[in-house]
Amino acid sequence: MRPMASTSQAVSVSYVSRVSRAALASLVLAVAACSGGSPASPVYAPPTETASEDASLSSASSSAMDSSSAPSDAAPFANCGTSPATGSIPADVLAVMSAKCQPCHQNPPLHNAPFPLLTYADVHSLFAETIPKYQEMHALIQPSGSPHMPFGTAPQLTATEFTTLDDWLLACAPAGE
C-alpha cells in the first residue's frame, strides 16, 4: 500500500497542474496569434446605429436621414469620385504596405487575409462590393479599427508609417509618379 500524500503536497500538485494547463493554453493562443491564424477572417460589417443613438437623434435630423445616407466614415472621401483605371502606388506608401500589409495581403493571401493588396488596382477595387478598398484600409488602420490592421500580433505601424499611409488614403489614394 502506498503512503498517502500530505494535504499540502496534494494541493501543490493540483496547483501546478492547473498552472501548467493555463500556461499551455496561453502558449497555444500566442502561437496561433503569431502565426496570423485568426478565429475568423476579418469581414466587413457596415456600421449600424444602436437604439440609444436613434433616441438621441432629433425628429428633424431623423426625418432628414434616409437609407441612402452614407456612414460618417465616408465623409472624408466625399470628393474622391471614381477610382482611376490605372496607376501605381507611390514609393513611400509602397514601402509601408510592403512591410506592414503585404506579409498577409499577398497573392494568394495568407493568414485569413481576405484579398491581396499588391497593386494600385487592388487598392482601388471594391471592398464588399460597396466602397474602394482604400476607404476600408483607412478605417481599419485607425486605433479603433475593427478588426484593427495590421492584425493581431503583427508589427504595428509606426507614427511615421501611419501618417504616410493614412494621408495617402485620405487623399483618395492617388497614383504615384
How far, in Å, CA of 13 to CA of 36, rounded? 35
Q: Is the pLDDT of residue 88 over 70?
A: yes
> Please, are residues 156 and 150 in contact by the beta-carbon 8 Å criterion?
yes
Confidence (pLDDT) at 41: 39
Q: Is the pLDDT of residue 123 over 90?
A: yes
Instruction: Read off the pLDDT band of 84 (50, 70, 90).
Output: confident
**Which of the two residues, 51 and 126, has the higher pLDDT score?**
126
Q: What rounded mean pLDDT belongs to the chain?
A: 72
Write out the chain in H/E/C secondary structure.
Answer: CCCCCCHHHHHHHHHHHHHHHHHHHHHHHHHHHHCCCCCCCCCCCCCCCCHHHHHHCCHHHHHHCCCCCCCHHHHHHCCCCCCCCCCCCCHHHHHHHHHHCCCCCCCCCCCCCCCCCCCHHHHHCEECCCEEHHHHHHHHHCCCCCCCCCCCCCCCCCHHHHHHHHHHHHCCCCCCC
How far, in Å, CA of 99 to CA of 94, rounded? 8
Confidence (pLDDT) at 44: 36
The set of cell numbers assigned to 55 is 433616441
Confidence (pLDDT) at 1: 55
Q: Is the pLDDT of residue 147 over 70?
A: yes
What number is the average pLDDT over the span 140-155? Answer: 94
> Please, are residues 126 and 78 in contact by the beta-carbon 8 Å criterion?
no
What number is the average pLDDT over the span 84-110? Answer: 95
**Where do the domains of the chain lie?**
81-170
pTM (predicted TM-score): 0.60
pLDDT exceeding 90 applies to what percent of the chain? 52
What number is the average pLDDT over the span 17-24? Answer: 42
Q: Which residues pair with 127 in a beta bridge?
A: 131
Instruction: Read off the pLDDT band of 74 (50, 70, 90).
Output: low
How far, in Å, CA of 126 to CA of 130, rounded? 6
- At 56-66, the pLDDT tens digits run 333 333 333 33
What number is the average pLDDT over the span 137-166? Answer: 96
Instruction: Read off the pLDDT band of 51 (50, 70, 90).
Output: very low
